[in-house]
Amino acid sequence: MKAVIKTQFSFPKQKSLYVGKVRDVYNIDDKYMAMVVSDRISAFDVVLPKGIPYKGQVLNQIAAKFLDATADIVPNWKLATPDPMVTVGLKCEGFRVEMIVRGYLAGSAWREYKAGARTLCGVPLPEGMVENQKFPTPILTPTTKADEGHDENISRDEIIRTGLVSKEDYEQLEHYALALFQRGTEIAAQKGLILVDTKYEFGKRDGKIYLIDEIHTPDSSRYFYADGYEERLAKGEHQRQLSKEFVREWLMANGFQGKTGQQIPEMTDDIVNSITDRYIELYEHITGETFQKAEDCADIVGRIEKNVTECLKNL
């Protein structure tokens, strides 16, 4: 199976193409979006040199399942998944912030806490916490939405004061984000997992707020195995986790954190295959279903083009 690292389609009524770190987003007549989830992988806001086979399919199919499972909480952009690697949906004007919800002190939040920070995005953090400890209640730590480079932490007050998002809209985003996190937590618990933290993106269309992009995938979320969590926490051991953090840890162990002058370590076939396996593992744990690899055809890009074109005819 070859990794899909680039697409360059010309769909009927296509207005533009936005190429993100992982997704290629096609604007169809300013009404719809065809989002191709490539096999590219990024860490520390850098796209790594090799793609990960089946990663795009994993992300797209998990996101589709969670969009369907949360549609009663907030309307979302999804209309169809015509290909294992593609979602087609409504075009919305995205808010310029990402809503990060954290249930546990992990990842970048832990790194800042360990360095002495006791507030994060204006949210006070309790003293005496240890890595991967659960917060008394989930916290919201939004970031700016950068087109290029690093997203930056920002507080609720800054967002509202600067007019990045109106007070009314921001309060609605907070409500939606916390409700989605609660639903994701409940679904994860049913599968023996802990939803540690995640990010949500929202947009607006005709004055209505929609959930957009991916949701509860290993690229946007961190999961721990519930079994053994307390014992590992008490011993100060690393948690068994299913997320992209293991990629970041591999990079850090090899001297790369996305800083100027640092060299991305060699991505051997073994490394690439192990990342594929971890993505499939998460899919199977979080969905409770066996991952069905898409047909291993010689022309995956051609398959995508055919499936999306057929879908767009029916919109």
Which pLDDT score is estimated for 295? 75
Residue 298 pLDDT greater than 90, yes or no: no
Q: Is 270 exposed, middle or buried (0-12, 13-18, 19+ CB in 10 A)?
A: exposed
For the record, the structure tokens of 76 come out as 């979302």
Residue 16 pLDDT greater than 70, yes or no: yes
Alpha-carbon distance of 75 to 61, in angstroms, equals 18
Which pLDDT score is estimated for 148? 62
| Number of neighbours of residue 298 by Cβ within 10 angstroms | 7
Distance set, CA 108 to CA 120, 140, 144, 192, 246 (Å): 10, 14, 15, 24, 13
Residue 147 pLDDT greater than 70, yes or no: no
Max CA-CA distance within the chain?
58
Residue 312 pLDDT greater than 90, yes or no: yes
pLDDT tens profile 234-292: 999 999 987 787 898 899 999 999 999 999 999 999 999 999 998 898 899 889 999 99
Domains and CATH numbers, the chain: 94-243 (3.30.470.20)
Name residue 89's beta-bridge partners: 33, 78
pTM: 0.90
Q: What is the mean pLDDT of residues 140-152?
A: 82
Alpha-carbon distance of 140 to 98, in angstroms, equals 10
